[in-house]
């Protein structure tokens, strides 16, 4: 008998025939994020599931999914998976690291540059027929990227890939991280470890690339924003909740910082009106990894994890490794 799998969001359609050879596949045809109640119902009787960041897997959702062995997340971040609850229920969790590192680092740079050079704001002027009113020497002028100081908070794989891009722009790269990188890796990234306070005070452009946790909740709030230079930008490609969005909107409105680039939000897919009202912020709907190649690679890696888990093998990106001793 084929194992049963549930696919919580539409994946590339050409992947389905192969999956259907091995599994009895049910997918969420609407492609809308399911409510917790819908997800709980959908997982009843399933052996495995492919989910994304909007799908929260917790004890309640797991309680009715007695046959579930593995949940493969199509994302590197996995704060949507309650790992202790999954471990307690004997359900493996996997993510998709590495395959999206460079694509996501590119997007961090894109947002940072768009915020610094006011790309979307100037496009709005052009589209509104106001080209002639775009002053040459008065506002709104941008701030430079090249040879400025890049501050990276969270120095995992993506943070390191951003640091290397910064070097190409002649930037001075500083970072803070829970753990300092080994010296060889610091040298490779051309990055200097500093305290969070020093980073906030001295960086011209700050990019957040740390995982979300209770500990990283509101890493950037009113106090941190007040330490930043008025000419600085802040870019969040990590997770909503790492920034206090309301405090950021207030700082942007008051000109306490120059601009921001945001791919993630507290309570997404909703964005607070205070942020939408700011012209000096570039907004994106959580698309950091969304190129054709990378989304395919993420999907394929998640499927590989799912297949391994359902074949009784150790999935390559198993998160709760304590479920498997060897
Ligand atoms: C996207 O946000 C991811 O974690 O892959
Ligand atoms: C986080 O997991 C990263 O890849 O930076």
Instruction: Assess whether 188 carries a catalytic annotation.
Output: no
Is there a contact between 258 and 228 (Cβ–Cβ < 8 Å)? no
Is there a contact between 175 and 151 (Cβ–Cβ < 8 Å)? yes
The reply to whether 37 and 105 lie within a common domain is no
What is the 3-state composition of the chain as percent helix, strand, coil, each rounded to the nearest 5? Answer: 40, 15, 45
pLDDT for position 326 = 45
The reply to whether 73 and 121 lie within a common domain is no
Domain count, the chain: 2
pLDDT for position 137 = 77
The reply to whether 188 and 69 lie within a common domain is no
List phi, psi (to 5°) of 260.
Answer: -145, 155
pLDDT for position 230 = 98
250-292: per-residue pLDDT in tens? 999 999 999 999 999 999 999 999 999 999 999 999 999 999 9
Chain position carrying tokens 């012209």: 279
* Ligand 2 pocket residue status of 99, Cβ below 6 Å: no
The reply to whether 248 and 106 lie within a common domain is yes
* Ligand 2 pocket residue status of 142, Cβ below 6 Å: no
Instruction: Assess whether 217 carries a catalytic annotation.
Output: no
Task: Report how far apart, in Å, the C-alpha atoms of 209 and of each of 32, 156, 189, 196, 233 are.
Answer: 27, 8, 15, 14, 15
Instruction: Assess whether 117 carries a catalytic annotation.
Output: no
Structure tokens at 142: 């941008």
Structure tokens at 68: 């579930």
The reply to whether 177 and 190 lie within a common domain is yes
Range of the domain at 307: 4-97+292-323
Nearest C-alpha to atom 3 of ligand 1 is from which residue? 75
User: Which neighbouring-strand residues pair with 5?
Assistant: 25, 48
* Ligand 1 pocket residue status of 228, Cβ below 6 Å: no
pLDDT for position 272 = 98
The reply to whether 233 and 309 lie within a common domain is no
The size of the chain, in residues, is 326
CA dist., res. 261 & res. 285, Å (int): 11
CA dist., res. 14 & res. 299, Å (int): 11
CA dist., res. 101 & res. 294, Å (int): 9
pLDDT band at 77; cut points 50, 70, 90: very high
157-167: per-residue pLDDT in tens? 999 999 999 99
Strand bridging mode 149-153 / 205-208: parallel
The reply to whether 170 and 302 lie within a common domain is no
**ipTM of this model?**
0.68
Is there a contact between 264 and 287 (Cβ–Cβ < 8 Å)? no
Average pLDDT across the chain, whole number: 96
Question: Does residue 244 register a pLDDT over 60?
Answer: yes
pLDDT for position 136 = 78
Task: Report how far apart, in Å, the C-alpha atoms of 155 and of each of 194, 210, 211 are.
Answer: 12, 7, 10
The reply to whether 66 and 150 lie within a common domain is no
* Ligand 1 pocket residue status of 289, Cβ below 6 Å: yes
pLDDT for position 325 = 62
CA dist., res. 65 & res. 5, Å (int): 12
Closest ligand to the CA of 208: 2
Task: Please state the rounded mean pLDDT for residues 188-216.
Answer: 97
The reply to whether 178 and 80 lie within a common domain is no
Ligand 2: centre distance to CA 324 (Å):
23
Considering the candidates 117, 118, 165, 286, report the single residue annotated as catalytic.
286
The reply to whether 78 and 130 lie within a common domain is no
Q: What is the domain-level CATH number for residue 41?
A: 3.40.50.720
Percentage of the chain exceeding pLDDT 90: 93
Is the whole-model pTM more than 0.90?
yes
The reply to whether 167 and 279 lie within a common domain is yes
DSSP state of 6: E
The reply to whether 84 and 151 lie within a common domain is no
* Ligand 2 pocket residue status of 237, Cβ below 6 Å: no
Q: Which atom of ligand 1 is nearest to the CA of 286?
A: 2
CA dist., res. 191 & res. 126, Å (int): 38
Task: Please state the rounded mean pLDDT for residues 5-28.
Answer: 96
């Amino acid at each position: 008998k084929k194992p049963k799998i549930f696919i919580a969001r539409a994946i590339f359609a050409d992947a389905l025939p192969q999956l259907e050879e091995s599994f009895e596949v049910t997918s969420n045809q609407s492609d809308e994020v399911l409510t917790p109640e819908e997800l709980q119902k959908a997982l009843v009787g399933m052996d495995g599931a492919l989910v994304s960041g909007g799908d929260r897997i917790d004890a309640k959702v797991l309680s009715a999914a007695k046959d579930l062995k593995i949940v493969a997340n199509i994302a590197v971040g996995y704060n949507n998976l309650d790992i202790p609850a999954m471990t307690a229920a004997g359900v493996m969790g996997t993510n998709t690291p590495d395959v999206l590192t460079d694509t996501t680092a590119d997007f961090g740079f894109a947002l940072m540059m768009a915020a610094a050079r006011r790309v979307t704001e100037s496009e709005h002027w052009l589209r509104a027929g106001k080209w002639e009113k775009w002053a040459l020497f008065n506002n709104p002028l941008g701030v430079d990227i090249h040879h400025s100081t890049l501050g990276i908070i969270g120095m995992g794989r993506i943070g390191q890939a951003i640091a290397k891009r910064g070097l190409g722009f002649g930037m001075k790269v500083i970072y803070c991280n829970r753990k300092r990188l080994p010296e060889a890796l610091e040298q490779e990234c051309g990055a200097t470890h500093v305290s969070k306070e020093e980073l906030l005070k001295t960086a011209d452009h700050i990019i957040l690339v740390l995982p979300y946790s209770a500990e990283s909740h509101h890493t950037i709030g009113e106090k941190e924003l007040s330490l930043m230079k008025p000419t600085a930008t802040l870019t969040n490609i990590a997770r909503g909740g790492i920034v206090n969005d309301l405090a950021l909107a207030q700082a942007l409105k008051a000109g306490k910082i120059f601009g921001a680039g945001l791919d993630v939000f507290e309570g997404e897919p909703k964005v607070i009106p205070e942020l939408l009202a700011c012209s000096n912020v570039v907004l994106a709907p959580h698309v950091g990894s969304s190129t054709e190649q990378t989304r395919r690679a993420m999907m394929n890696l998640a499927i590989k994890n799912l297949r391994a888990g359902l074949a009784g093998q150790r999935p390559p990106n198993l998160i709760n490794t304590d479920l498997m001793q060897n």
